[in-house]
Amino acid sequence: MSDPALDTLRRIFGHDAFRGRQQEIVTRVVDGGDALVLMPTGGGKSLCYQLPALLRDGCGVVVSPLIALMQDQVDALRQLGVRAAFLNSSLDGAEAAQVERRFAAGELDLLYVAPERLLTPRFLGLLERARIALFAIDEAHCVSQWGHDFRPEYRQLTLLHERWPEVPRIALTATADAPTRREIVERLALQDAQQFVSSFDRPNIRYSAVARDDGRRQLFDFLDGHRGESGIVYCLSRRKVDATAELLAGQGYPALAYHAGLDAVTRAARQRQFLREDGVVMVATIAFGMGIDKPDVRFVAHLDLPKSLEGYYQETGRAGRDGDPAEAWLAYGMGDAVLLRRMIEEGDASDERKRLEHGKLDALIGYVESTGCRRQTLLAYFGEAHAGACGNCDNCLHPPRTWDATEAARKALSCVYRTGQRFGAAHLVDVLRGADTAKVRQFGHESVSTYGIGSDLDARQWRGVFRQLLAAGLLEADLESHGALRLTAEATPLLRGERSLHLRMEAPKAERRRSRGSG
Ligand code: ADP
Ligand code: ZN
């Protein structure tokens, strides 16, 4: 009955039992082995190094990149009676000296330290004199150059292993796609670390994605099912955040806008309001959310495509932390992907990095256009196998019908070609449907061979065809000329009649309310 780990878990942390793989991880580190821990946010990573630090001789040294999180963790530990402290730039000289003195004297159980501070000769000298229980490297994905949180100092953390090979290291992250994981192992020299990969599934979150046609009405329909609940509505631009917050306020929602264009005082006040009051709808750019730990966020809606599936997973992961049902809803349009591609192209990243970002965007588009189980697609991206048929995503609840779109796709592709690969979807749809518009007349498109050959489908269905052709890579958008569509090499077999194509059927208007999902 006297398992010291379980005993400490109950006595100090006040938890009855370990969660997930915590116990295995704690045992591994207490025994002196290295570990790489991949666990979703809220999974209980902190305990995996805090507990071994208490059980082993000496002080646990925790490398953490976020000053605000260090402060929170240390406050929480002190309340539990654990002797914890942090060293970062928020301390003045005397305070820092005091922490250093306690560390050297063996009076600390846990010391949180920023990576740039850890790497100073002064701190390394201190480490030489102290007894170290373990090194914990939190937010280990910061070592990855491709992630959005890259911290160059993380690259130098291998020196911990070189100088203190006998001290166990535990690296932790909630970002778990395979390339990042490989990079962590390589960059932190964790080849001998045992990997503990927890499931990233959040079974209480219902995922759904809808093609945007009447975005405003679709949002109202969605929110209608969530009156009185707290939630986050993400938009890509500040302007859209402001406009949407105003729109929702006009509909009686307690909606607040949040983006980096607002001053710090306003932002802090709104964040507090969101955390403390019930039923606030935060309309925000992705500037909002880092470190937000509100258990009862019932929905996260995206009105624009996020930049990657990792980003989407993180953002939607803020919903349903309490384990109760929550919804992750996404509305997307063809223009979104075109805009994001342009943002990647116009950024000043290296070509290699741009390729990677395009690849991430492709994966995201694959997710939104998927006709299969969303959970399966999402988890597959994180290297996790899921049998599918989760019963809690839109595609599982209302399997989308597909149709043989070979003929329609061929018409669409040849219309792109006949009009010179210089036009966007809106005009191409006009040509296919034989519309009489000023632009059609201006370019003489009433005389191209594809004029009016598509009157069997309505404009919305045609937009769906173009969007899915773009998503499937048969078309690409020319970024120089405002999203003009061009054929890719992938289009050739279809134009030659060598392959067929099945596409998701756009739900007719009457059915769309159902896709809100209320089962
Ligand atoms: P992460 O760092 O993975 O996001 P935390 O370490 O902050 O997650 O833990 C998330 C929450 O889960 C915290 O409130 C923590 O107290 C709680 N928690 C962690 N482990 C357990 C456990 N074994 N039993 C109950 N609650 C736990
Ligand atoms: Zn599913």
> How much of the chain, in percent, has pLDDT values that exceed 90?
68
Cβ neighbours around 130 below 10 Å, total? 17
Distance between CA 462 and CA 354 in Å, rounded? 30
User: What pTM, to 2 d.p., does this model score?
Assistant: 0.73
Instruction: Select the more confidently predicted residue: 164 or 310.
Output: 164
Work out the angle between the directed axes of helices 425-432 and 459-471 (0-180°, nearest 10): 130
CA distance 127 to 162: 13
| Per-residue pLDDT, 40 | 83
Distance in Å, CA 439 to ligand 1 centroid = 60
Which residue puts its alpha carbon closest to atom 17 of ligand 1?
44
Instruction: Kindly identify the ligand whose nearest atom is closest to the C-alpha of 387.
Output: 2
Lowest mean pLDDT among 242-251, 367-376, 450-459, 509-518: 509-518
Ligand nearest to the CA of 209: 2
What is the atom index within ligand 1 of the atom nearest the CA of 13?
A: 16
Confidence at residue 480, expressed as pLDDT on a 0 to 100 scale: 65
pLDDT at 515: 45
What was the pLDDT predicted at 176? Answer: 67
Task: State the distance from the centre of ligand 2 to the C-alpha of 392, rounded, in angstroms.
Answer: 5
Closest residue CA from atom 23 of ligand 1: 18
Q: What's the rounded mean pLDDT across residues 383-392?
A: 90
Burial class (CB in 10 A: 0-12, 13-18, 19+), 496: exposed
Ligand 1: residue of 10, 46, 49, 198 to mutate (most ligand atoms within 8 A of CB) is: 46
Residue 47 CA: which ligand 1 atom is closest?
Answer: 6
Distance between CA atoms of 268 and 152, rounded to whole angstroms?
29
Cα 283 to middle of ligand 2, angstroms: 27
Give the list of residues 6+ apart from residue 397 with CB closer than 8 angstroms, or none: 391, 517, 519
Determine the 3-state secondary structure of 437 from DSSP.
coil
Residue 383 has pLDDT above 80, yes or no: no
**Could you report the per-residue pLDDT of 202-223, keeping only the tens digit for each?**
999 999 999 898 889 999 999 9
pLDDT in tens, 177-202: 777 888 899 999 999 999 998 888 99
pLDDT given for residue 279 in this prediction: 95
Give 346 or 354, the one with higher predicted confidence: 346
Band (pLDDT 50/70/90 cuts) for residue 511 is very low
412-425: pLDDT as tens digits: 999 999 999 999 88
DSSP state of 393: B
Question: Any idea which residue has 């966020």 for tokens?
Answer: 297
What residues are in contact with ligand 1 under a 6 Å CB criterion? Answer: 15, 18-19, 22, 39, 41-47
Segment (H or E) for 440: helix 438-442
pLDDT tens-digit readout, 94-105:
999 999 999 999
Contacts of 257 (CB under 8 A, 6+ apart): 241, 242, 244, 245, 246, 270, 283, 284
How far is Cα 252 from Cα 26, in angstroms, rounded to an integer? 49
CA 518 – ligand 2 centroid, Å:
15
Ligand 1, atom 20: closest residue by C-alpha: 44
Q: Which ligand is nearest to the CA of 136?
A: 1
| 81 pLDDT above the threshold of 50 | yes
Tell me the mean pLDDT in the region 486-509.
85
Per-residue pLDDT reduced to its tens digit, 323-343 = 899 999 999 987 888 888 888
For a ligand 1 pocket test, name from 21, 47, 74, 314 the mutation site with the most ligand atoms within 8 angstroms of its C-beta: 47
Atom number of ligand 1 nearest to Cα 41: 4
What's the chain's Rg over C-alpha atoms?
Answer: 26
Residue nearest to atom 16 of ligand 1 (CA): 44
Task: Tell me what the pLDDT averaged over the chain comes to.
Answer: 90
Question: Which atom of ligand 1 lies at the shortest distance from residue 174's CA?
Answer: 3
Distance 48 CA to ligand 1 centre (A): 10
Q: How far apart are CA 479 and CA 186, in angstroms?
A: 36
Work out which ligand 1 atom sits closest to the CA atom of 17. Answer: 23
- What is the reported pLDDT for 321? 86
Ligand nearest the Cα atom of residue 372: 2
The per-residue pLDDT for 478 is 75
The ligand minimizing its distance to the Cα of 80 is 1
Specify the residue with its C-alpha closest to ligand 1, atom 18.
44
> What CA–CA distances, in Å, run from 466 to 344, 403, 499?
22, 15, 17
In whole angstroms, give the CA distance from residue 423 to residue 497: 24
Distance 408 CA to ligand 2 centre (A): 29
Residues of the chain by 3-state class (helix, strand, coil), percent to 5: 45, 15, 40
Atom in ligand 1 nearest the alpha carbon of residue 18? 23
Report for 305-309, 379-383, 491-495: range of highest mean pLDDT: 491-495
**Residues ≥6 apart with Cβ < 8 Å to 245:** 255, 256, 257, 283
The confidence band for 138, taking pLDDT boundaries of 50, 70 and 90, is very high
Q: Residue whose CA is closest, atom 12 of ligand 1?
A: 44
